[in-house]
Amino acid sequence: MTMDSARRDFLKASATTTAALTLGSLVPDSATAATTEPAATATGATIGSAAPPRDTAALAHERAITKAHPVPLGRVRLTGGPLKHAQDLTREYLLALDPDRMLAYYRERAGLAPKAKGYTGWDGNGRNLTGHIAGHHLSGVSLMYQATGDARFKERADYIVRELAEVQRTHGDGYVGALDGLREAFARLSKGEIKSGSFDLNGLWSPWYTLHKTYAGLRDAYRHTGNAQALQVEIGFATWAEGVLSR
């Protein structure tokens, strides 16, 4: 046997062993206790044939351990302590924000008159993240409604979804966004014209991140407040994105 062939056989056996161990970790608990034939490697050797049998009492104990399961957010209520204090501060902050200011540039991009002056800073007009705050806020109020049952957050989420739906209807193609120049940049993208460096895409800084905030907000409004319109707006928005990327 040459050195090369021996090396190949060793690599094959190693790969087979790794795959067997990985797949074994994915088998449900009820199946792990079943007796199986030793697996053969590519060279004919058996895997695990020398491993000692596991203690049946230990196996039974493992299966009896209560597994952790996720609890729906709406089934948990904070009643006191530092976490409740933090939640109360967040509630006050969320309600202090003006949704019309967050939505100002969404409306402006659609040719609609803003209902309030938009926020400045990172979310200001023509900035890198214009519009992302509305998506974050929609997620925040939706989660807070689920966590507290406070109807004010449901009302806030419903209002933002209605406003985004109006913006979408005005655009007419499913688009919902506030970034200046995004439609032009993505029109070039759909033609295969891609200029990218670091986070940049056709002159915009991380546009998919900003759009994702809106997608995530709509998703959370649907999941946590039951707003069916949010799902429809999201589907329309996703259809627009599919159209851009599939041309």
Q: Give a yes or no: residue 96 inside a domain.
A: yes
Q: H/E element holding 106?
A: helix 104-109
Beta bridge partners of 200: 197, 205
Q: Give a yes or no: residue 215 inside a domain.
A: yes
What's at 247, amino acid-wise? R
- pLDDT computed for residue 203 by the predictor: 67
Structure pTM? 0.71
Provide the residue range defining the domain that includes 222: 79-245
Are 201 and 207 in contact by the 8 Å Cβ rule? The answer is yes
Is the dihedral angle over the CA atoms 217, 222, 227, 232 positive or is it negative?
A: positive
Is the dihedral angle over the CA atoms 99, 100, 101, 104 positive or is it negative?
A: positive
Q: Give a yes or no: residue 56 inside a domain.
A: no
Q: Give a yes or no: residue 6 inside a domain.
A: no
- pLDDT computed for residue 35 by the predictor: 37
Question: From first to last of its 247 residues, what are the pLDDT tens digits of the chain?
Answer: 444 444 445 434 444 443 333 334 333 343 333 333 334 444 444 444 555 667 787 777 777 777 788 899 999 999 999 999 999 999 999 999 999 999 999 999 999 999 999 999 988 888 878 889 999 999 999 999 999 999 999 999 999 999 999 999 999 999 999 988 778 877 777 777 677 777 777 667 778 888 899 999 999 999 999 999 999 999 999 998 888 888 7
SS3 43: coil
- Other CB atoms within a 10 A radius of the CB of residue 149 amount to 11
Domain count, the chain: 1
Q: Give a yes or no: residue 40 inside a domain.
A: no
**Token couple for 68:** 């952790």
Q: At what angle do helices 182-190 and 207-225 cross, to 10 degrees?
A: 100
Q: Give a yes or no: residue 52 inside a domain.
A: no
**Token couple for 91:** 């509630």
- pLDDT computed for residue 112 by the predictor: 97
Q: Give a yes or no: residue 29 inside a domain.
A: no
- Other CB atoms within a 10 A radius of the CB of residue 166 amount to 17
Q: Give a yes or no: residue 7 inside a domain.
A: no
